[in-house]
Amino acid sequence: MRRGRSKSKFVGMRLSEEQSRVLSRLQQNSNRSKSEILLRGLELLSEYYSLGLDQLPLNLELRNLEAEAIHHAEALRQIRKKEEAIGQMVQELGNVDKIIDKYRGSKKALIQILLDIQAQNHWLPKPALMWVSERLGVSWSQIYHIATFYKAFSLTPRGRYMVQVCLGTACQVRGAPRLLEKVMDVLNIKPGETDQEQRFTLTTVNCLGCCALGPVMVVDGDYYGNPSAEQIKQTVVSCE
């Protein structure tokens, strides 16, 4: 420890010159430790307050303390929130890690990796893509190129239920455009959109290979052959 430098702090409190002089005198005279002096001081102070000798400063002090406490609590809450978000992201990226490891981190497997991430989240969150870019050593632009090129990928969150209308040729000649119109009417969204409550995402597909049923609507893996407007409504209502 360096000597020769006067201490200007007492238990975390900044002291004026006058105060530090009083303090060192007290310490010398009474031969007590700093904390003992402090405890004694607090005792005196509480006596002083309990006698009601100075009401106003006490309230003021309490208010200050309260404000300080609130401030700290808020800061703490922010930190916890960030911690939680980081924890969640770590977990998510952990899942991404598992997927990447499944393909032994091969650059060739990039599309397969993105497909698995899409299947897990129903969309491709940006941090996940950045992590894939980092781990595989593939440029961010190449990942973006792939994610926007293929229909299977979505860069925005999708609803809890996927509604698909088949626009394959067989469905088309059996009246798929009209079916799509009906579905759009009921859900009040266009193809590619998600409703505000994040319940449904409507997409169109080019042939699901169940042409005997056409025109076909699929809601969360259940197939409906040429449903009427009424049936569509019922199906949508039964989803929640």
Partner 1 sequence: MARLGSPTVLEKLRQKILARVNGKTIISITNGTDGRTRYSQAVFQAFVEEIEKQGLGGKVEVKSTGCHGFCEKEPIVLVLPEEICYIGVKPEDVSKIVSETLVGGKIVEGLLYKDPATGQKITKESEIPFYKYQNRTVLGNNRFIGMESIEDYIALGGYSALAKALFEMKPEQVLSEVKDANLRGRGGGGFPVGIKWETTRNAPGEPKYVIVNADEGDPGAYMDRSLLEGNPHSVLEGLIIGAYAIGSHEGFIYVRQEYPLAVQNITMAIEQAREYGLLGENILGSGFNFDVQIHRGAGAFVSGESSALMTAIEGRVGEPRPKYIRTAVSGIEEKPSNLNNVETWANVPLIINSGADWYKSIGTEGSKGTKIFSLVGKVSNTGLVEVPMGMTLREVIYDIGGGIPGGKKFKAVQTGGPSGGCIPESFLDLPVDFDELTKAGSMMGSGGLIVMDEDTCMVDVARYFTDFLSQESCGKCVPCREGLRQMLNILDNICDGKGKEGDIELLEELSEVMRDAALCALGTTAPNPVLSTIKYFRDEYEAHIKEKRCPARVCRELITYYILPDRCQACLICARDCPTGAITGGKGLVHVIDQEKCTKCGACFEVCPLRFDAVVKLSGESVPPPVPSGTKVTRRR
Interaction site with partner 1 (CB under 8 A)? 106-112, 114-115, 138, 142, 145-146, 149-153, 167-170, 172-174, 178, 181, 185, 205-214, 216, 223, 225, 229
Of 127, 135, 133, give the one whose Cα is nearest residue 86.
Answer: 127
User: In this complex, which beta carbon is closest to partner 1, that of residue 37 or of residue 170?
Assistant: 170
Which is nearer to partner 1, 159 or 168 (by Cβ)?
168
Distance CA 227, CA 108 (A): 42
In the complex, minimum distance from the CB of residue 200 to partner 1, in angstroms, rounded to a whole number: 19
Please report how close the Cβ of residue 166 comes to partner 1 at its closest, in angstroms. Answer: 8
Closest CB to partner 1 among residues 38, 236: 236
Closest CA to 118 of 151, 85, 86: 151
Smallest gap, in angstroms, from Cβ of residue 85 to partner 1? Answer: 29
Structure tokens at 160: 């809890």
Q: Minimum distance from CB of 97 to partner 1 (Å)?
A: 18
- Smallest gap from Cβ 70 to partner 1, in A, equals 51
Helix (H, G, I), strand (E, B) or coil at 84: helix
Q: CB nearer to partner 1: give 4 or 209.
A: 209
Q: How far lies 202's CA from each of 123, 157, 208, in Å?
A: 14, 12, 15
The number of C-alpha atoms within 13 Å of 82 and in the hemisphere containing its C-beta is: 6
Of 78 and 228, which CB lies nearer to partner 1 in the complex structure?
A: 228
Residue with tokens 């973006």: 144
CB 215 within 8 A of CB 226: yes
